[in-house]
Structure 1
Amino acid sequence: MLQGKTILLGISGGIAAYKAATICSRLTQAGAKVRVIMTESATKFIAPITLQVLSRHSVYLDTFDEFDPSVVAHIDAADSADLVLVAPATANILGKMANGLADDFLSTTLLAATAQVIVAPAMNVHMYAHPAVERNMRLLAERGVRFVEPGTGLLACGYVGKGRLAEPEEIVFAVEQWFASRTELAGKRVLVTAGGTVERLDPVRYLTNDSSGKMGFALAEAAANRGADVTLIAARTTAPPIEGVKLVRVESAEQMLEAVLERYDSADLVIKAAAVADYQPVAQAAAKIKKSDERLVIELERTTDILKTLGERKTHQFLVGFAAETEQLAQYAMDKLARKNCDLVVANDVSRDGAGFNGDTNVVEVFGEEGLIESLPMLHKREVAERLLSRIVLRMREKAAKEAAE
């Protein structure tokens, strides 16, 4: 899995720096080409020669050590990386990463790197819980940085709590899992819907909802990162386009239905994350409706239930629905799963803080035919998407194995 991959291993100055030797050794034994970058502080805890011997490459130490005149060292290192791993990551390097500071070889390389970054924090329990550190980690997570959570135990400072660097085996496993996930959906066609539909009353007024589309866009990006051929059908959204994802813009529920059905037969996985209007005006005025002193009565009719339609037409597709509720979450989610022939339903209580529309975080519960499968705490929508895709891929494999056995 790691054979031939170039991994930049950044080591910052904490007592846990000694564990980086084991991480480097394990990655190298797995076939990876490991290039080590050490901060000046890190060299106080472990000698660069140790990492040089284990990696079989010179260790990057100083931004101004330019050994090859044909390249700029930190840019060349950043460009060569298939993955950047920072372990241990101190509060200091997290702060530099979050704020775009670049005053040594490691921070400068991180700023230039376009590869996935995985960070394994290690620090005192109170430092880890400090609002500034928590803010920096949230900001980095929003940018797509992945974290290997620190362990809980006796720290070098004498405190017992969360902040100890994860064990080398856990960190190497996280690296292997990331590379493995890149091909999980290779060859699969994934269809994702996102955003709130717009149902027009007249040329300037419409009915819609608070959906930003961020959850659907995050899911589309996560699927693309796993090697899928992704088409994203988006209504009204605030999320930016995603590189490598085919974007189809629609406005109304009817337009979304047409766009989805046009692509449904060839899809392997369909994720219906859009907030589709349940009702639309019976008639749309050709000109702007002028105000008067009288009441304005608008007659509405039901829109076509897209998810139910897909469930009725399902053949080989794995179908995932979303349920935004304000009460009786499990009951409504299980009812939707059964009535609309879904394989999974992802439900959230939009009345909860951090779980509503238009935010960057979500709190979701995943339901299958057996009931509640998984509850996720409040996470950034990127992380929610990654975890949901992992769950979906697992269920798709289980379903395929069951069908093959029958």
Structure 2
Amino acid sequence: MAGDKKAQETAADNLGALLDAEDGAVVTLVAGRTRLVVHRAVLAARSPVFEAMFRHDTLEASSGVVSIADVEGAALRQLVAYMYTLRAPVVPGTAAHLLAAADKYGLLELKAHCERQLAAQLAVESAAATAVLAVSHCCPRLAEVAAAFVEANSQVLATQGWADAVRSHPKDVVEVSRLIAATSVRSSVPTTNRRRLDPGTQPNSDRSGTPATAALPATSRNTPPSNDTAISHMWSLSGEEKARRLKQAAKSGSVQELRALLSVGADVDAGDRYGWTALYCAALEGHVEAVRSLLEGGADVVARDKWQSTPLHCAACWGHATVVWLLLAASADPNVRDQWRQTPLHWAAMNGHAEAVAELLEAGADKAARDEEGNTPADLARLFDKQQVIEMLK
């Protein structure tokens, strides 16, 4: 395996060197003042759009010149570099332009990389533009993350970015507004009122019929932004009380309170008697912005509870696909095992959560993984008659 990886890296380096060499190059890409002389075969091999362009009798195929009016020069350079090396750039300032270009040319892995970058760098001034970009380029996970950010940060609606979005992309803003409203409604429904499997079959049960559900007091998720007096009071709280309130805020989705507690030093990875951290609580409830804020605050994505399950197990069990996506983007292991040797894919499959299953499979979850009783995720899907998931796991 190490030899194969080394060979791939060498091949990528060799292709990367071709980017600045014009020998044998037969295509010129033009974007404004940027002109890149590149190898037709590389473009065709990486992009289905370029492949179709060069295979048919098109002007670009015959002239050897491709004009790209809607891609900036810097983004074009990064796009081409990726096609030569398959190494995604880490350039936050151009992630939005690069995502649009990757979508246009069918580079799905690069597009996904850009989505993760944009989700990680959400800010009040840029959130509207990111949300509109996500909607217009069919990025449902990024769109939901951006909508959750806006829902938790109402000041976004007063920014110039929001005004520009309303003026330039009114239809997309309508969809963003719908997502914001849906986020608010979902967040107001407590998990304890949602239908779940019999406790005796729940992966996070103690398998004696007693659900392993931490009793955290409910608070309003619409906690207003903390003022200086409130934060000053938080500084005086004990470490244990800060941690308790942090888990409470994570469970209720009170993002402003959560951020305030993190700012005064609350232990982001403190666990309760079940071993549940704030991230686990937010993942359980599907609070997208709370999860994102905790990850941004350094939360341990691989923290385990007393049953050895992780926040990813929990999000998969409840079908919170966008939370699953965020956790995977933060390097959560899609094949991590709990004490019954079940993976997050087992949990998502037995509950019939097709979107969560899709995210896990995309991240490399093992369909053939077997739990301590020898069941694969497909076996559990069949056991609980989850037909859509059964088809996905064939």
- Normalising to structure 1: TM-score of the pair? 0.32
Greater helix fraction, Structure 1 or Structure 2: 2
Looking at both structures, which has the greater relative contact order when contacts are Cα pairs under 8 Å and sequence separation is at least 6?
1
- Normalising to structure 2: TM-score of the pair? 0.33
Greater strand fraction, Structure 1 or Structure 2: 1
